[in-house]
Amino acid sequence: METGALGKVYEDGDLLVRQGDPGDCLFVIQEGTVEILMEQGGREKLLRTSGPGELIGEMAIFEHEARSATVRARGRVRALTVDKKNFLRRIHEDPSLAYRLVQTLSRRVRDLSRRLAEVDA
Amino acid sequence: MTDTRHSPDWTLGDGSRIGVIGSGPAGSFFSYFLFDLAHRTGIDLEVDLYESRDFTRPAPQGCNMCGGIISETLVQNLATEGINLPASIIQRGLDSYVLHMDVGSVRIETPLHEKRIGAIHRGPGPRDVREIKWESFDGYLQRLAMDKGARRIQDRVTAYGRTPDGRPRVTLKSGNTTVYDLLAVAVGVNSPALKLFESEVGYRPPRSVKTFIREYYLGKETVDAVLGNSMHIFLLNLPRLEFAAFIPKGEYASLCLLGDDIDKELVTRFLESPEVTRAFPVRFDPAKGSCQCSPRINVDGALHPYADRLVFLGDAGVTRLYKDGIGAAYRTAKAAAATAVLHGVSERHFREHYAPLCRSIAQDNRLGKFAFAVTRGIQQRRFARRAVLDMTSGEQKGRAARRMSGVLWDMFTGSSPYRSIVLRSLHPAFLGRLAWNSGASLLRGRE
């Protein structure tokens, strides 16, 4: 890895987040692709994949619930951890910082609505 | 002053012209967020970004005289803004620091063993760089601002005044004169441009002290082997020295000394300290570097860093004491951009929406001065230095919660507000462990 690369490297198959674990941070993918998986009845279901620049695990910032899904590296991944406390402190100072998070959540709602419509059809 | 809050003339609209003097982090962040927020609100702005330096050329033409650390807080904040710093501008990702004292050294890792701090060259690199192999940090931010729509003007602002209707007017070295709806001053305390604004009612430039920065060419392999991915910090009993760090970069390392007017004698005494010579490569002469400078840094915020249609950002306004100056540039630049786009550009708008952040940073700096006074007390007492070393070493071996490690980490990396550091260091468990380690250290001293 280059000396200037920030974040932590996860090898293929490494877990960034495990479903059911407590969450106190979010991740910003710097390089590579991660799989977002939901485990139900002992089976894994791939919900989506995420790549560079995308925010992962953002629900942990606003909820005190356990992680709702597992995040696994597909190939080599470099991700930066964003501390919940630091992020909330900064949002308190600058609420516009939450804009991108709201934008991300809005995209996900739109995507889910589209998929739901496809299932109904 | 008349109430101007509701006057439509004070709001920015389509075609409003904004001048930004200085394209360091504060100026580039301000331009970037102006466009970002204007885009969200559907306004088309025109932004001129004045910068006489050329960040594509090695020092001194492109140098910004800075140690070059991006704190972990800023790295995270930028990532959540969608600005992911590429490996081509981060000279080295840092995952730890090594604290050097006469009583020993201790390495402190980030809690997540993650490279969370970026060591950068603000310009394209030191004086002896002939072929530029990387992009400068300031050049990268300038490019982000230009990609959003800012127009870069490579010229020097030589005069400032107001039109009869109160709009700021700047005259350039080339002789051109331009009138703006808003002017942002984002120059450093070393810039002569600050003097142009001393006539502005209420503005007083920040107080500054002299520092020392020297760049060393070591080669990548030597940097890897000797310094690794750690920032090396020295807590030495030298009068007037508040903070000293040796920061590894790609092929270079930067030495930064902060304190009360660092002079040649203090630099020599520091470099001759055994703790310092041990940290340098064997048979290396620390008196010879690639280049060096003694820039001044802001240690006390400016008085009244705003007026009608005028705002002072980053070092020209208020910055954090000794640490995370780039983080303070980001915070002040974004707050000023949000005020201008979402509220207006009168003195009252800045007082209501920009001044609270400036006051918050200034208040935190007062606690920072207290924290550095305590650190100075530790520097001067051998038993206290040994107590800090023992307590930190124990924590790093997993024998206790990382209380001292966390306090030192945030103190030296600028990752947390000074208020948070002071509060954590007043925690009974922290004080109890420190007292126990101090007692043990005093007893060992008698033996």
Would A1 be classed as within a structural domain? Answer: no
pLDDT of amino acid A61: 77
Query: What is the tens place of the pLDDT at every residue in B243-274?
Result: 899 999 988 999 999 887 788 899 999 999 99
d(CA B419, CA B169): 40
B23, with CB counted inside 10 A (0-12, 13-18, 19+), is buried
Could B115 and A5 be called an inter-chain contact, meaning their C-beta atoms sit closer than 8 Å?
Answer: yes
Q: What is the DSSP letter of A77?
A: E
Partner residue facing A87 (CB), from B40, B80, B357: B80
* List of E strands, B273-392: 291-293, 296-300, 306-307, 310-312
Neighboring chain B residues of A82 at a CB cutoff of 8 Å: 76, 79-80
Higher-pLDDT residue of B60 and B343 is B343
**The tokens of B33 are what?**
């967020």
The phi, psi pair for B305, rounded to 5°, reads -80, 40
d(CA A81, CA A27): 5
Residues of B with CB under 8 A from a CB of A: 37, 40, 73, 75-77, 79-82, 84-93, 112-116, 118, 220, 224, 229, 250, 331, 334-335, 338, 357, 360, 417
| A9 → chain B, closest CA residue | B114
Closest to B136 (Cα-Cα) out of B229, B66, B32: B66
Confidence of residue B152 (pLDDT cuts 50, 70, 90): very high
Tally C-beta pairs within 8 A across A and B.
90
Could A82 and B80 be called an inter-chain contact, meaning their C-beta atoms sit closer than 8 Å?
Answer: yes
DSSP letters of B179-202? E-SEEEE---TT-GGGGGGTTSTT
3-state secondary structure of B327: helix
Would A94 be classed as within a structural domain? Answer: yes
| pLDDT reading at B60 higher than 70 | no
Q: How many CB atoms lie within 10 A of CB B315?
A: 31
**The tokens of B426 are what?**
């007043």
d(CA B405, CA B394): 10
Could A6 and B87 be called an inter-chain contact, meaning their C-beta atoms sit closer than 8 Å?
Answer: yes
Closest to B14 (Cα-Cα) out of B39, B48, B49, B50: B39
Q: How many CB atoms lie within 10 A of CB B64?
A: 20
d(CA B409, CA B215): 24
Segment B100-128 mean pLDDT:
86
Segment B362-371 mean pLDDT:
93
pLDDT of amino acid B1: 41
Could B90 and A86 be called an inter-chain contact, meaning their C-beta atoms sit closer than 8 Å?
Answer: no
Whole-number percent of chain B with pLDDT over 70: 95
Distance of CA B157 to the CA centre of its chain: 24
Cβ–Cβ contact A94 with B under 8 A: yes
Q: What is the DSSP letter of A7?
A: B
Q: What global pTM score does this model have?
A: 0.91
Number of domains in chain A: 1
B165, with CB counted inside 10 A (0-12, 13-18, 19+), is exposed
Partner residue facing A6 (CB), from B90, B112, B220: B90
d(CA B376, CA B381): 9
**The tokens of B432 are what?**
């109890």
pLDDT of amino acid B64: 64
Closest to B170 (Cα-Cα) out of B182, B158, B155: B158
Partner residue facing B80 (CB), from A3, A52, A97: A97
Query: What is the tens place of the pLDDT at every residue in B309-322?
Result: 999 999 888 888 88
Lowest mean pLDDT across A94-98, B94-98, B170-174, B416-420: A94-98
CB contact at 8 A, B354 and B335: yes
pLDDT of amino acid B6: 45
**The tokens of B396 are what?**
């790093």
Neighboring chain B residues of A96 at a CB cutoff of 8 Å: 37, 334, 338
Neighboring chain B residues of A83 at a CB cutoff of 8 Å: 76
Would A103 be classed as within a structural domain? Answer: yes
Rounded to the nearest angstrom, the minimum Cα separation between A100 and chain B is 7
Q: What is the DSSP letter of A16?
A: E
B342-375 burial, b for 16+ CB within 10 Å, e for fewer?
Answer: bbbbbbbbbbebbbebbebbbebbebbeebbeeb
**The tokens of B245 are what?**
């760090």
Would A109 be classed as within a structural domain? Answer: yes
Would A100 be classed as within a structural domain? Answer: yes
Would A106 be classed as within a structural domain? Answer: yes
Partner residue facing B76 (CB), from A8, A82, A100: A82
Would A18 be classed as within a structural domain? Answer: yes
Could A4 and B113 be called an inter-chain contact, meaning their C-beta atoms sit closer than 8 Å?
Answer: no
CB contact at 8 A, B299 and B321: yes
Query: What is the tens place of the pLDDT at every residue in A60-106?
Result: 777 778 898 999 999 999 999 998 888 888 888 888 888 888 888 88
Among B37, B40, B41, B80, most A C-beta atoms within 10 A, so best to mutate, is: B80
3-state secondary structure of B397: coil
CB contact at 8 A, B174 and B77: no
3-state secondary structure of B324: coil
**CATH number of the structural domain spanning residue A32:** 2.60.120.10
Would A3 be classed as within a structural domain? Answer: no
Which residues, in sequence order, are CB contacts of B264 under 8 Å at separation 6+? none
Partner residue facing B90 (CB), from A4, A26, A97: A4
Higher-pLDDT residue of B52 and B134 is B52
Would the CA dihedral through B253, B81, B413, B437 be positive or negative?
negative
Would you tell me which residues 22-61 of chain A have a C-beta closer than 8 angstroms to some C-beta of chain B? 26, 28, 30, 52-53, 55
Could A90 and B118 be called an inter-chain contact, meaning their C-beta atoms sit closer than 8 Å?
Answer: no
Rounded to the nearest angstrom, the minimum Cα separation between B169 and chain A is 31
Partner residue facing A6 (CB), from B81, B82, B115: B115
Among A1, A2, A6, most B C-beta atoms within 10 A, so best to mutate, is: A6
Cβ–Cβ contact A2 with B under 8 A: yes
DSSP letters of B110-178? -TT--B-EEE--SSS--TT--S--S--HHHHHHHHHHHHT-EEE---EEEEEE-TTS-EEEEETTS-EE
Neighboring chain B residues of A8 at a CB cutoff of 8 Å: 112-115
Parent domain of A110:
8-120
Confidence of residue B5 (pLDDT cuts 50, 70, 90): very low
Closest to B216 (Cα-Cα) out of B278, B292, B277, B135: B292
